[in-house]
Structure 1
Amino acid sequence: MNMTMSSVPDSRCGRVEVITSVQCRRRWTTAEKVRLVEEAMQPGLSVSYVARRAGISPSQLLSWKRRMLEGGATAVQADDDVVGVARVQELEKRVRDLECLLGRKTMEAEILKEALALAAPKKPVLRLASLDRDGSP
């Protein structure tokens, strides 16, 4: 059972919630994370205050902020777009799969070359009749 009770408004936060049941882990969308990080970066607002209002740990918000800043710095340094780790891992797996396929196809081509070489008819060799020492047959 999820029961939320509000107490006397706190001057810093506005209200205090007491949750008496076990909660499932909340999933934050990218847009929500960006909004919270941008809010925490506003002058006069602290990470702790924004995190408390959102109901998350300040360390979680700091982690999101660090990732955003590092990703942006990396993109600027490389003069490139930021790509998520999941996308990079997906592309690396695709490259491994394609390399494996290329290896198989290369091996098949080598086997086919060997098979053709074995199956190809031998070119006839012209044998000259032996000549006597004086040059007559």
Structure 2
Amino acid sequence: MEPGMSVSLVAREAGITASQLFQWRKVYTEGSLVAVGANEPVVPASELQEAMKRIKQLEAALGRKTLENEILKEAVDFAKAKKWIARSPLPGGEEP
């Protein structure tokens, strides 16, 4: 925009409304166009926060399940060592 040009003149030359130009300037000053300039999708901050919360919940659940799995493996190994679990072939002749 050249010095001395009004917003409405610039908007008219660009074929947009002045309110659209003001809206673009507002999101630009707030940093929202960084993602647009990088060709990335823009999502609302509330949606991002909800997604981050859900990721943390899923990571915690994964950690619990991993720990349970390790404990169960150790219990099976211990039981096999004590011969509490008989080692028999799986149905179909497959070995574990």
Question: Matches of residues 57-76 of structure 1 in structure 2 within 5 Å?
Answer: 66=26, 68-69=27-28, 70-71=31-32, 73-76=33-36
- The aligned residue for residue 78 of structure 2 is 118
Computing the radius of gyration over CA atoms, which structure comes out larger, 1 or 2? 1
Q: Distance in 1 between matches of 2:76 and 2:40?
A: 49
Q: Distance in 2 between matches of 1:40 and 1:91?
A: 30
More helix as a share of residues = 2
CA offsets 1:89-134 (integer angstroms, 9 cap, x no match): 00000100000000000000000011001111568xxxxxxxxxxx
Give the RMSD, CA atoms, in angstroms. 2.8
Q: Distance in 1 between matches of 2:20 and 2:34?
A: 21
Question: Matches of residues 36-51 of structure 1 in structure 2 within 5 Å?
Answer: 39=19, 41=21
Question: Would you say 1:83 and 2:43 are equivalent positions?
Answer: yes
Aligned counterpart in structure 2 of residue 105 of structure 1, from 65, 80, 87: 65
Q: Percent identity?
A: 42
What 5-or-longer segments of structure 1 have no aligned partner? 1-37, 43-61, 124-137
Q: Distance in 2 between matches of 1:89 and 1:41?
A: 29
Greater length-normalized contact order (CA 8 Å, ≥ 6 residues apart): 1
> SS of the counterpart of 1:41?
helix
What 5-or-longer segments of structure 2 have no aligned partner? 1-17, 84-96
More strand as a share of residues = 1
